[in-house]
Amino acid sequence: MSDILFHYYRVNPTTWFYLSSLLSIALFFKFNRVWSMRNLDLVGLILLAPGLLAVEYGGYKASAAAQQLGYVWIFAVSAVFLVRMLFDSLMVRRPLLDPNLTVGGLVFLGISLLVFLLANVITTRPQRDDVAGAAAAAKLKVGEAAVDADQLSRLGPGYPLLFLLPQISTQRLFSPDPDTAEPGDSGDGRRRLVHETTARVMAILSQLAIVSGMIVIAWRHFEAVRLGIAAAVLYLLLPYTAIMTGRVDHALPGALVIWAIAAYRRPFISGALIGLATGTIYYPVFLLPLWCGFYWQRGIRRFAVGVAAALGALVVGLWCSSPSLMVFVGQLRQMFGWIFPNAVSLEGFWALPYNDAVFRLPVLAAFVAMISTLAIWPAPKNLGTLMSCTAAVLVGSQFWKAHNGGLFMAWFLPVLLLVIFRPNLENRVATLVLDAEWFPKRRRAAPLPAAIPTDRAA
């Protein structure tokens, strides 16, 4: 951006935390109703950033105490939002609280933020730590079953080809090292360039899909496009979005989930998108009980066929890219997460010396109990409860995720913001809004008027 804007310097994440927090309060805080739920939600969203900055500070300074404080802070705020999402369906009185800016101003601000964020993705060069995971995935991609199991334990479950993409960190708390990835031969350089370009394109498209999906949901299902624009602008203002704009593994699942909600009246399309999210990063698989409960009375077969079709397409893609059967089996295990929870290499909160990894198993058991309960409660589910419980499941998965759990906020933030801004949606239930057939018949055209008889004899 410095080539276009004279003397432009990228804003430090800490500085952006202060500026974006003040701007978010000015735009969305209801000063005439200080103790409204909207204001409390806004404060909670702002409080997510200090924990994220503490984690990055501890990682740069090799301070386990700072990282511990950051993760505990993030988990505490996330736990509040988890409870908030679980009890959101009980809030039947949802007064319309418009933002403190006109629609034109929100659109201008949102487009400006989006341009700067996506420009950071294009101009940022991956550093050594950004390509470390991709280099490890490339080295582990060989035809031995033991190495394939090691890839699953080290990198975690997910689509194997996704781990080959570098992690582009668009903003850092400290200045990055001038050295980029280790140099290699011309073939490695070309391959790295292809992976970096793919990562940039996928990150940009994912962020655009998140923003557009939020607006479409508000336009089609809330019948108030202004709420979707306000939620999208708040998402772009958050410091987390500025730091993790280029992370495909963060943004892509969130985009797929958002558009699954946008297409909820088409169970096959929603099922295909949830299936793609499951095959991409594995953890959305825990949304299946909730979504099956929503479609149980109508649309369950179409939804199940969509999930199966998407997973089948991803499996075929692995088969075509695998050089041998052993590699294919190993990649299939990684895609579906076929590993015991205690056999995964831990990163982030559960790997810190202050924490015992054995306590992760009770957290996982509580999470399984929660998703089992959400499959049957509340009944019947409407669009509002589907959205709030989807956000709750994605928030809950962060507490036991083995690899940097708590930092993947783009999985749930777009849905959570829509829940915060949404109106009452009690009449959006599957039996009322879905067609009973796979291919609904078109409306019959009005019959044409009968032709006036003519007198041929005349």
Q: How confident is the model at residue 147 (pLDDT cuts 50, 70, 90)?
A: very low
pLDDT in tens, 215-261: 999 999 999 999 999 999 999 999 999 999 999 999 999 999 999 99
Model pTM score: 0.91
| pLDDT above 90: residue 323 | no
Whole-number pLDDT of residue 90:
87
Whole-number pLDDT of residue 132:
62
Burial 318-346 (b: 16+ CB within 10 A, else e): beeebeeebbbebbbbbbbbebeeeebeb
pLDDT in tens, 355-412: 999 999 999 999 999 999 999 988 889 999 999 999 999 999 999 999 999 999 999 9
Contact 260, 297 (CB under 8 A): no
Q: How confident is the model at residue 154 (pLDDT cuts 50, 70, 90)?
A: confident
110: its two tokens: 């949102």
| pLDDT above 50: residue 144 | no
Q: How confident is the model at residue 303 (pLDDT cuts 50, 70, 90)?
A: very high
CA distance 105 to 357: 48
Whole-number pLDDT of residue 443:
46
Instruction: Over range 103-110, report the average pLDDT.
Output: 96
Q: Which of 307, 297, 295, 286 has its CA nearest to residue 390?
A: 286
Angle of helix 186-217 relative to helix 225-237, nearest 10 degrees, comes to 140
Contact 405, 350 (CB under 8 A): yes
Whole-number pLDDT of residue 275:
97
> What is the residue-wise DSSP string for 39-75?
HHHHHHHHHHHHHHHHHHHHHHHT-HHHHHHHHHHHH
pLDDT in tens, 36-52: 899 999 999 999 999 99
Main-chain phi, psi angles of 271, to 5 degrees: -65, -40
Q: How confident is the model at residue 297 (pLDDT cuts 50, 70, 90)?
A: very high
Q: Which of 162, 160, 163 has its CA nearest to residue 332?
A: 160
- Cβ atoms within 10 Å of 97's Cβ, excluding its own: 18
Main-chain phi, psi angles of 246, to 5 degrees: -90, 10
Q: How many percent of the chain have pLDDT more than 90?
A: 64
Whole-number pLDDT of residue 325:
87
Whole-number pLDDT of residue 342:
79
Whole-number pLDDT of residue 167:
82
> Positive or negative CA dihedral for 285, 287, 289, 292?
negative
Q: Which residue has the higher pLDDT, 164 or 214?
A: 214
Question: Which residues fall within 8 angstroms of residue 35, CB to CB, at 6 or more apart?
Answer: none
Q: How many percent of the chain have pLDDT more than 70?
A: 86
Mean pLDDT lowest for which of 137-146, 166-175, 396-405? 137-146
